Structure 1
Amino acid sequence: MKYIFNRITIYPKLVLTFLLVLIPLFLLSLIMNEYGANNVKSEITNSMQSKVHFYNSALESDFTRIIQLMKEFASYDDLDLLSNRSEILGYYEQLESIRKLQKELTVIKNASNYVKSAKVLIPSIDRSISDSSIEAIPKDEFDALNVVTNIYESPFIYWDGRLFISLPYPIQLNNLAPQFVVDIEISQDLLRNALLQFTDQTIGSTMLVNLQKDWRITASSKEEALDEITYTKEINGIPHGLKSIRFENQTYLVAFEKSKILGTTLVMYELEQNVLGPLYQFKVWFWMISALSFVVIILVSYFVYRLIHRPLKHLVRAFRKVENGNLDLTLDYRGKDEFQYLYTQFNAMVSNLQQMIYEVYEQKYRVQHAELKQLQSQINPHFLYNSLFILYRLAKKNRDENQIKFTKYLSDYFQFMTYNSSDEVLLGEEVQHAKNYVEIQMMRFADQIEVSFEELPAFYAQLKVPRLILQPIVENAYKHGLEHRRSGGKLHVGFLVQDDSLLMMVEDTGKAVDEAILKSLQRKLENMDVTMETTGLINVHRRLSFRFGAGFGLSVSKGSLDGFKVTIKLPHP
């Protein structure tokens, strides 16, 4: 996995990084959303079931009260007189008993909003007495209502599109005519209005169903849906519950509860989309936001990719050009962020590389040039020593003291110059080599130049120094200051111990010293640029500075002899 991740480009890496960060948050949000939706759905369904239970209990309470009043009414004395002993009553007594019954029937009618009319049918006098009228008994109605029912489990009788609660008295199991029948007609319109008030939804309704006797009262006009919901197997035989029923490509959420007292089932149904629609809508919005978030991740990743990749791509291309040897390029970046620093450092790096390559080539050229000069001037040391030794022997044979000294000095001089076993010598040897050079020059300029050469303090004789640091300075004094003087030339080499250092001073009475030339030469000594053309003084100064540090080396000034003065500063041994 790590190998594959390292192989892909920056843009997919950015997208994957954002996704790895946001996916756990997305999953957590999804779990929380599902948990909240389930809780809300549970609350909604529980609310529907609670409402069904509440309204069903209310109906049971109302109709139980009506049935109780009917039972009490059946035990009235006046009803017994009219149904069993009407022949012994006079006309006015019958009227009085009827008025009393009408008053009681009025009480029963007003006891509930669902009672449309209250009657008692008395076959012995062939009268149907209601709360407001007295008429002959309708035979078909009497036959339909003279049915023994269990008023405590299924009291309703549905006949001729009308709904009744009937109480024949006494109960005759052998189909004999009863003494009277208490007849309560239930107002379906009032019951329907009550069912309408049970739900406040726009699509859906509540209905009261008797599944055994095949009748129902509902506030909805969508009969097809009612048939499907009413007679579905999922409701039949179940005392209460909540079901989802599919009908005509629509899903209904159905809450129902069967009444053991009334023998009816109260059904409350609603389109699931209306009840749970906000939850589904919220879920849709959640997925839309998730998709939008993914698109935003893609766009932000692309923006970051462009923001980072474009300057990075230019930088990579520039590095590839440098790899191919192209150092003549400069990157320009107008931003003020970290890439500006990278571009600036890249430009500085390329510039330094150019400088270093130039210096390496320059040094290589100088080394090759020096090697060529060395090869051109190379002298076989043994041949030189043998030749000088022969010249020395001839001088001693002739007893010429000047020749003896000259050959001796010359031999020592070339022996020091051709001794290449080490780059460093003792300061005493370096000073002696300079003295040999002076002695040789004195034989040449004996009458022209006066030389004073002080003794080196013995404490510094064992100090190791780079080879040829004093003799080139003395040679420079002869070459540029004293060589062309006819007389009166002076050369002074002195030593001065100062603090923890030794000063070696070489001065002459050469040409008049120009202050501008002194300053120019001093600046060259202080400039450590290796590409600058070097002279004998600069070469000696650099070697001393590299060996002992920046505080040591050469300095130039006007001497006490009115000529050029070079001071060599060396450290304490």
Structure 2
Amino acid sequence: MTFTKTLRFRLLAGFIAVIVPLAVALFMLNLYAMNVVRDEVSQSTTNFLSIHVNQIDNSLEKVGNYLLRLVSSKNYYSDLIGLSIYPEGSSNYFFAKQRIYNSFQDEITSNSYVVVDTFFTYTEKYNELIASQVDYASSQKMNEMLTRFIHNGSLSNSHTWQIVEDAQRYYLVRTEQIQIEPNVYVGALIPVENLMKDLRSLDLGPTGQAMLISNNAVSLTDTTWDNTSLQDMVRKLSVKTEPYQIMNNPDNGKDYILVGFPVMQAPVMLAVTIPDTDLLQKLPYFQRGLVLIPIGLVLLLIMFWIVLKQVLHKPMNSLIRGMRRTAQGDFSIRLSEGATQEFKFLNETFNRMVSQIRSLKINVYEEMLKTQEAEFRHLQSQINPHFYLNSLNIIHSLSKLGHNDLVMEMAHHLTDFFRFITRANREYITLEEETEHIRNYLEIQRLRFPQKLTFEMTVPREYKNQSVLPLMIQPFVENAVVHGMKTGRHVFHITVEARSCSENPGVMEIVIADNGIGFSAETLERLNSGLTTETANSGSLGILNVQHRLKHKYGRSVSIRFQNRTPANNGGELTGGAEVTLRIPFDASKEGNQTDV
């Protein structure tokens, strides 16, 4: 195999033939155009920002003058003082509040404050806030923010704008205090994003940004620049000597043009960063120059694309499609020979592997499914005949004692119990059906052990239609009654609860707990290590049954945990007991919602 016929040589030769002439031409044009682009773009952006910053300063000054008029003009002064003088529930107090609110609305409407969201007044004496918003939908949100601002002790009479952060948003707030009644304040609130609205028309490229930065180098708007870069921006804009500055973004390693101005009325400055690599798009002469690149270069690109498609793209896509169809179970796919020696070897190897997999997989897989299904049906049909005999003995004893009402109750529960057993050949049932069956079982046992057995079942309404395997919970409840009940007068209490798993919201937990004698250390170790046919005894065959059935249906997504409850003092009696936790996925099947015929 010669090197000239390999894929690596063909790709390298095509890359050199196309990229080198193109790189030389673009490099020469870039050297000529870059400085011109920087000067034009920076000058245009500087002019726009200068106008915008002047508008911000004028708006902030206008708002400040209005607040000063409020605390000094006779038209408003009397109403503001009245908020502190009049009783809180009086009509004078109410009308003073209404006149102040109306004055805020009139001021916003008549002067068209674009940046202001809220004018407000606050009475310290009654701890009452009166606020007016331009946007009514944001009224409650602004009121909550102002309340936090006031309660944090941020009120002042400094005649300056303050930067306030609340819920990861920044605001400019200015307050003025009435001198005669120092517990009355008026103020204005401006969300920082309102100062940036007019900058949305700027074309800053895909990674360019317009941002508002505090004098302490804190970005008040979203930005990708780090704190060190922001501090460098503040330093360069504070001592600006050139129309623009060059900034390097350490996040992506690119150079940016920095243009900005400080806002005189507030401790902030407006900054714009424009990607240096995108400036060529703003030079029309350079764009026309790109069109005049020799036609031969375009022909080389077209030829390179055709060769690359035939040599690499076409055989590679064919191989990928074959792999995808094989992963989906289609073993009839075969690939044609490749144009290069590398793809010829790959395609022949792929065809041989697909043929071998097809001849081996199908029979083994089908046989495994049959074996698993047969084992599952056998495990699901197992029942305990001792329970039937005990139940009949109870009915016989109650009948001899003349307790016909208890005989009727026992017969009713047995009827429901046996009806469930005869219908338990379904693959899935609802959790409500399973718990109702357990309730019948426990009612029968309570008749067998009067005054010694109580139970409680907690199944939220939203879990009742969840699908579970039949007879999945009963073996644990039956083992608790048979092996966990203490002798003497101790009342045995058992609980069954369904709940969502805190560790995985997609898993349901079913907890069976009692206050009996609990598990021995040997039994706990044997149960939690996983039962097998060899390690299971007569008392744990039902648990082994459930483990096998759950494993067949849910695989590794199911778990059973056995533990002893922490002993607690209950009326002078030390109680503990056993606890079993089953974890199964939610909605494994919808068959539980079907109706038997």
Q: TM-score, normalised by structure 2?
A: 0.36
Which has the higher relative contact order, 1 or 2, with Cα contacts under 8 A spaced 6 or more apart?
A: 2
Which has the larger Rg?
1
